[in-house]
Amino acid sequence: MLLPIFLVVLADVFALTLVLPLLAIYAERFGATPLDATLLVSVFATCQLVSSPLLGRLSDRIGRKPVLVMSQIGTFIGLIVMAEAHTLWLLYVARIIDGATAGNLTVAQAYIADNTPPDRRARAFGLIGIAFGLGFFLGPAVTGHLSRYGLEAPIWAAAGLSMTSILCTTFLLKNQPIPTAPSDGADLPAGRRPGVLDWEAYAPYLRRPVLSGLLTQFFCFSFAFATFTSGFALFAERTFHWEGHPFTPREIGYLFAYAGFFGIILQGGLIGRLVQRFGEPRLVATGFGAMAAGYLLLGLIDQVGPLVAVATLTAFGQGVLRPTLTSLITQHVDRHDQGAVLGVSQSLGSIAQITAPPLGGFLIGTGALHTWAFVAACAAAGGLVAARWGSGSVSRTTTRPETADAAAAG
């Protein structure tokens, strides 16, 4: 039953990561400034923040499968518009269409929650983590290869994969009835993601002593990660050279693929063993330290050799922080609040994706390349500072392997 969902998520993530290494450089073809290019990320995240709760609630009323198909069709149309774009404003239209229908992951999580018994649910969510790991490895690698045939080639490939995911959903996924309530009275693990103006949903969690610190750390992580992913292509083509030419989406794609491969190693069971050996608080501190050191080093180098060390540091930090922080966040609320607090953390991640890219684009556009990297490093360092109220206040715990798998999916 879960194989179709795995294929759906894998195809969607694959399509996303095919576009990620080249979006900003593709926008420059149409006269975009670095700020214009990074705003494409913010526009998508803004539309997603507004639409995702609406799509989730709609799926509660009419079923998961119809909404999932609708969301995938929106992604497909957005990619077609992007591939056929001849002006910058059409790129924005493409990102708006994609963002306004970007409820794939939320609805897929809800489908798993509907159709998986509680004792198997954590490992079922681990499938999403595996799909993400494979997608973030394969997508950029394919982009690196296809970009030699033109920047449109990876986008068309992404559109083809998006159509594949639509076909998988239509013909392989069963349309199951929606349960009125979980048997144990708890929220569904996918939860209800708060709306953009639903401040009352955020406040109770942001007031809790340890939980507020953990959510602050998650925002710092998301801000640093969004700064890096949205601006790195622009930074790299201005900073690094390979075989006598500036970095292109080919080199950027291969570098992202290397980081994705590192993530697969972590997701393949290593993260669970690291948590058991060192405990989540220490692992969180190490992850933020690795990210901060990597971004700081990035602002000081202009050679490819040290760049591999940067990619290793940042990939390790990113790979351990998301699952461990998510695990700690869910451990500090009652079971019936876990779905809602995961929705809060997802929304905080979207807010970071809205605010970080334009700041990075402005800095890169004004030639402050090193400052851009240092901003990402400072955001990661902020996660270390916030540990005093968040992960640093948590006593050492041992997380079951299946809990780590589920956290990785978040």
Assess whether pLDDT exceeds 90 at residue 377.
yes
Q: Which residue has the higher pLDDT, 72 or 102?
A: 72
Assess whether pLDDT exceeds 60 at residue 388.
yes
For residue range 164-214, list pLDDT tens digits in order: 889 988 998 887 776 555 555 444 444 455 665 666 777 888 888 899 999
pLDDT of the residue at 194: 62
- Cα 269 to Cα 212: distance, rounded to the nearest angstrom: 29
Assess whether pLDDT exceeds 90 at residue 223.
yes
The enclosing H or E element of 111 equals: helix 104-115
Q: Which residue has the higher pLDDT, 209 or 372?
A: 372
For residue range 267-325, list pLDDT tens digits in order: 766 887 888 888 889 999 999 999 999 999 999 999 999 999 999 999 999 988 988 89
Asked which of 205-209, 233-237, 351-355 is least confident by mean pLDDT, the reply is 205-209
For residue range 36-68, list pLDDT tens digits in order: 999 999 999 999 888 888 888 888 888 889 999
| Burial class of residue 126 (count of CB atoms within 10 Å of its CB; 0-12, 13-18, 19+) | buried
pLDDT of the residue at 313: 95
Of the pLDDT bands very low, low, confident and very high (cuts 50, 70, 90), residue 104 is confident
Name, of 1-5, 254-258, 341-345, the range with top average pLDDT. Answer: 254-258
The answer to whether the beta carbons of residues 352 and 223 sit under 8 Å apart is yes
Coil vs helix vs strand at 177? coil
pLDDT of the residue at 331: 85
Q: How far is CA 305 from CA 301, 302, 313, in A?
A: 9, 9, 13
The answer to whether the beta carbons of residues 220 and 382 sit under 8 Å apart is yes
